[in-house]
Structure 1
Amino acid sequence: MFRRLPASLPPDAAFKSDLKELGYFIDEKSQIMQIKKPDKGYVFKIYNDERYNVMHREALNNCIREQVLKRATAAGLSLLYLPQLSAIKPEEPHVPIFTTPSCELKNKKRIIVVLNDHRQDLGIWDYRCLAIDGIDSGSCVKLAKLVQQDGEAAPGLIISNAGQLTYSHKNRRAMTTQSWQAMPRSSLAFPGVQEDPLHNSVEGTRDKFEHCNFIFENLLKNSSFVREDAEIYLVGILNGGEVALNYLDAHWDFWRGRIKAVALTSALIRRQTLSWEMIQFLRDRARNWKISSAPKDACLVSPLHWTLSIPDTAMTQPPEELEPQLRKNEDVEVVGKDYANDHANDLLKATLSDNGDKELTEWAVPENMVIPDAQIVCPEFSSSVRDFTEIIFPTVLDSVIAFFEDVQKDVNGYKNPAFMVEQYEEEPLEIGVDVVKNGNEAMSEGVETMKLEGSGKKEKGKDVRDKKAVRFDDDMEVEKKKEGVQEGVNFAEAMVPEVKVDTAISCKAEAEEQTTNTDAPLDTLNLPYRYPAERAEAEMARVAGLDLDEEVLKAAGLM
């Protein structure tokens, strides 16, 4: 038999990690733009082959990572390698994180710890935000610059790296799963490099759970890096926040006096898995920003016990023990109405006396929520982001820093205030696309396609390319479709004048009043079109043990 030699197989796609050779540059706003089209940014789909697009993206991302490292170092951050806890790159497998230099970190009274998502590169919140809003805005560079504004009183920073946990011994670096899949192959036809869970991971930080545990146990507990009386402010991005809450809940006896505030972004908090002590802390000193079309920082929902109707026992007892006491309480006074004898869920209708004439919303929690104490753990706010959860943190970064500053002003007695909750109608997500016409072709702006060399064909003097572009209907095409539907309706009305077509969508017909004698035979109605008479019962023939229609067999030439 014949076989194809490996040398004859097509080579794997390869791109040099150089912005200029990739066709991009960094403008004055730190945005990554195309050299040929300075008004357009990065486009993923530029080739017909998916492998070429992936390798092109990885080469560009590698350039971005180098830029972030360079700028973060200039902003006062340094690399710390785990599990060696060394500032010098070790020969053994390692995972890097960003921290304030250890000589400064151990003297900081306040520490901000950022636990990132398992899909993020080190110090990069989102590549979309980074390419559009600038390298600083989409990475940890902006955070480092913000905290440096306080001068000597600036808090220390620890930025985890739960994404780059796959270690390549050949490249001597840790990487994300996405980068691992973009590693060079022997040929374009060969499968990707296999990953071994033990060989290609770092001991002590093999997954996001071990990584989070290492940050707390070996770094934050280590007096050589963090002073024992340091105030810790925690930021949890996506599932990084969920992992952090699970760890803190299991070790809350130790950390209850050191964790001062928690800021979460689109974290899923499972109230059933948390202890009541942990829930108490989250209600008082945690906030969660979610995807919503509401204005930025608008409170979406708020826990039950912040209203004046709830006695102080709500702060110390589980919710299942509150309702009997609330029903017995006859002395609760609320502005506007007395809810002492109402159900516990109805006690949310209250206003604060210290707000004067300005009333809070009627409901602190939407009515369609069941038992707020079992549903809501901490107040949730709108991020004004409507599409990608990765963009939430860079969008609300200023709000997170402001929240931490408020806690710092009253670090021992701070509690989340009663927030005004308003109902906002979620607007549908609209995709704005400018349709550009080129002859008979319409392509969406921002979706650019290119052909591989030699894949173009010419037909009748025109360059015909195998393009895969998003297809959108412009206003003219929509009008043509409507005209076509209307023509079909007119044709149906002309064929059957006694029937009125209601709508093309509902496909329902409404009979008009008969002007002729309905008792007359069908022939006297003089219709231009008649339905065929019902067919008589078909004659069946038995063939190979099956009963088949004789007319079908005749039509097939079998009879």
Structure 2
Amino acid sequence: MFRRKWSGLPADPDFPVDLEKLGYFINEDDEVRAIDNPDNYFHFFLNRSPRYNERQRYAFSQALQYVIWERLEKLGLEKVLLPLGTSDANKPHVPIFASNDILTKSRVVVIFGETTQDLGVLAHRVIGGQGGVTKGSMVSIVSALQKQSCSTTQQTPPGIILANMGELIWWPEGKRTLSRTAFAAAPMQSAVHYNNVIEKENMVEKNSTERIHVGHIFQEVIPHFLKDDAKIDIIVVGDSTDFVQEFLDLPPMWDIWKKRINCLAIAGGLCPVFYLKNDEFVEFLKKKARAYALSVEPTGMVISGPEGNPRTSTFTQMGCPIFSSGEPNYTEKVLITGSEIILGWLEEVAMTSEGKDYTNPHFHVEFADPVFDNDEPDWSQWKNDEHASQKDGNVEAQAKQDHEGTGNPEVNEPKLVLLQHTGQHTDDTEQSKKENVKIGQNKNKN
């Protein structure tokens, strides 16, 4: 009898978490290129085995993340382990980044990235491709924010907190958390095991899900690091919008935070306003929030007001003014492409004269999707039964006229004939179905 031992399974591919050993370097344009051919970017398809390719990308992404973390630390951010009070890095924890002088700031920008991205990453397609490491990561956003001022009375740059919405799965062997994609590509017992299984020991206290992580940031992290009178700007990217707005929509939570939040910038999010139940929070969205959507229109074009825009196919029922981000395709690139107008608006709100309350101006929206001329029929007219009957009559008259014009009876001969089975027996159903369809029609030999 055939018996296969565990030792006989192919070993899981192993790659070093080091750019140089993987065969890559960062050139003078800050782009990752292949050492053997500097004209080439990252090469994913090294092998026919998907597992082999995923393991290489896992090591590549981990190596780049350490480069990003090093750059963030050089910009004055330090890593903080959650839940608060965690000092042993070998125990389950979720890392975030916060400004090392955040206690002195009167304004702090809190950024919630996508739930599919690693901490510090905006878009791997930019980090590992055209654009480079800084542009495709939070390094570019932090650098831009540090050129702003906290307010009209405090000229120092605002504080920054980078939440970690993506890496919430604890990997005991690596002593760190991973995203779902990275956890699936983490080392397994063999190359043919099905997948790494998420179990109870992979959960981090107070940070086991995106929803719970958002609550921990608002209820414990922000009160711990910020002064009581410090104002907050919030940036949400992609699907993190749902979790942040869901939290702030809770009346007890909104009663606490409504006086501290300056504004909310939504980069590529799509949380419908009709899902929200707190009228006060909905009013806040109208006055102090802006959304930046995927669009082929120029960056900064007004797509919709708070009431929505029925003249465009873009989703506009978000309860706040919506602008084009200038990014037509990828949600992960919205904050990259639209960083100038998004961060510029945050500064505009922050620099509102002391004693005045910022409110979105009224936007006169003229935008509508372009209409292209084509020969397609207007199918909406067929909703009218009387009109449809009239159309049917016209079609029949036209067919009769065509037949009389040609004088050829073979013109209207059908090419596909469906015959109804008239037999009394039902046992031969499948056979009868085959006999019911005959392609072509024999001509009358008489």
Same fold judged by TM-score > 0.5?
yes
Q: Tell me the residue number matched to 2:365.
A: 421
Q: Tell me the residue number matched to 1:484.
A: none
Identify if the C-alpha distance between structure 1 residues 367 and 62 changes in structure 2 by more than 3 Å, giving closer, same or farther: closer
Give, as a single letter, the amino acid of the residue that structure 1 aligns with 2:349: V
Kindly report the root-mean-square deviation, in angstroms, between the aligned alpha carbons of the 2 structures: 3.3
SS of residue paired to 1:133: coil
Inter-partner Cα distance in structure 2 for 1:546 and 1:218 = 69
**Residue pairs, 1:167-246, within 5 angstroms:** 167-196=170-199, 198-222=200-224, 225-246=225-246
**Residue pairs, 1:235-274, within 5 angstroms:** 235-250=235-250, 251-272=253-274, 273-274=276-277
SS of residue paired to 1:72: helix
SS of residue paired to 2:108: strand
Inter-partner Cα distance in structure 1 for 2:404 and 2:341 = 64
Identify if the C-alpha distance between structure 1 residues 135 and 274 changes in structure 2 by more than 3 Å, giving closer, same or farther: farther
Identify if the C-alpha distance between structure 1 residues 367 and 391 changes in structure 2 by more than 3 Å, giving closer, same or farther: closer
Structure ID, larger Rg:
1
Identify if the C-alpha distance between structure 1 residues 3 and 388 changes in structure 2 by more than 3 Å, giving closer, same or farther: same
- CA deviation after TM superposition for structure 1 residue 186, in Å: 2.1
Of the candidates 139, 142, 146, which is equivalent to residue 141 of structure 1? 139
Inter-partner Cα distance in structure 2 for 1:190 and 1:407 = 52
Inter-partner Cα distance in structure 2 for 1:513 and 1:376 = 59
Q: Tell me the residue number matched to 2:443.
A: none
Inter-partner Cα distance in structure 1 for 2:334 and 2:428 = 68
Give, as a single letter, the amino acid of the residue that structure 2 aligns with 1:9: L
Of the candidates 401, 409, 424, which is equivalent to residue 343 of structure 2? 401
2:114, 2:239 within 8 Å by CA — same for their partners in 1?
Answer: yes
- CA deviation after TM superposition for structure 1 residue 77, in Å: 0.8
Inter-partner Cα distance in structure 1 for 2:146 and 2:117 = 24
Instruction: Deviation per CA, 1:481-519: give whole Å up to 9, x if none.
Output: xxxxxxxxxxxxxxxxxxxxxxxxxxxxx87965xx86x
**Residue pairs, 1:3-18, within 5 angstroms:** 3-18=3-18
Instruction: Deviation per CA, 1:229-271: give whole Å up to 9, x if none.
Output: 0010001111212211111121111111100110011222232
Inter-partner Cα distance in structure 2 for 1:300 and 1:545 = 62
- CA deviation after TM superposition for structure 1 residue 420, in Å: 4.1
Give, as a single letter, the amino acid of the residue that structure 2 aligns with 1:41: Y
Q: Tell me the residue number matched to 2:90.
A: 91
Instruction: Deviation per CA, 1:337-381: give whole Å up to 9, x if none.
Output: xxxxxxxxxxxxxxxxxxxxxxxxxxx834579xx9xx3400011
SS of residue paired to 2:303: strand
Inter-partner Cα distance in structure 1 for 2:167 and 2:429 = 65
Inter-partner Cα distance in structure 1 for 2:428 and 2:99 = 85
**Residue pairs, 1:118-157, within 5 angstroms:** 118-131=115-128, 132-150=130-148, 153-157=156-160
Q: Tell me the residue number matched to 2:60.
A: 60
Inter-partner Cα distance in structure 2 for 1:409 and 1:395 = 23
Gaps of 5+ in 2: 150-154, 373-401, 418-422, 436-446
Of the candidates 157, 160, 170, which is equivalent to residue 163 of structure 2? 160
Inter-partner Cα distance in structure 1 for 2:27 and 2:430 = 77
**Residue pairs, 1:148-547, within 5 angstroms:** 148-150=146-148, 153-196=156-199, 198-222=200-224, 225-250=225-250, 251-272=253-274, 273-304=276-307, 365-367=309-311, 375-410=317-352, 412-423=356-367, 425=369
Inter-partner Cα distance in structure 2 for 1:172 and 1:404 = 37
Give, as a single letter, the amino acid of the residue that structure 2 aligns with 1:382: S
1:122, 1:163 within 8 Å by CA — same for their partners in 2?
Answer: yes
Inter-partner Cα distance in structure 2 for 1:50 and 1:288 = 38
1:185, 1:191 within 8 Å by CA — same for their partners in 2?
Answer: no
Q: Tell me the residue number matched to 2:33.
A: 33
- CA deviation after TM superposition for structure 1 residue 288, in Å: 0.5
Give, as a single letter, the amino acid of the residue that structure 2 aligns with 1:146: A
Which segment is superposed worse, 400-409 or 6-15?
6-15
Q: Tell me the residue number matched to 1:340.
A: none
- CA deviation after TM superposition for structure 1 residue 547, in Å: 12
Give, as a single letter, the amino acid of the residue that structure 2 aligns with 1:267: G
Relative to the length of structure 1, the TM-score reads 0.63
Provide the aligned length of Structure 1 versus Structure 2.
387
Q: Tell me the residue number matched to 1:43.
A: 43
Give, as a single letter, the amino acid of the residue that structure 2 aligns with 1:408: A
Give, as a single letter, the amino acid of the residue that structure 1 aligns with 2:135: S
| Aligned residues with identical type, % of pairs | 28
Relative to the length of structure 2, the TM-score reads 0.78
Gaps of 5+ in 1: 305-363, 429-509, 535-539, 553-559
Inter-partner Cα distance in structure 1 for 2:430 and 2:248 = 73
Inter-partner Cα distance in structure 1 for 2:175 and 2:312 = 53
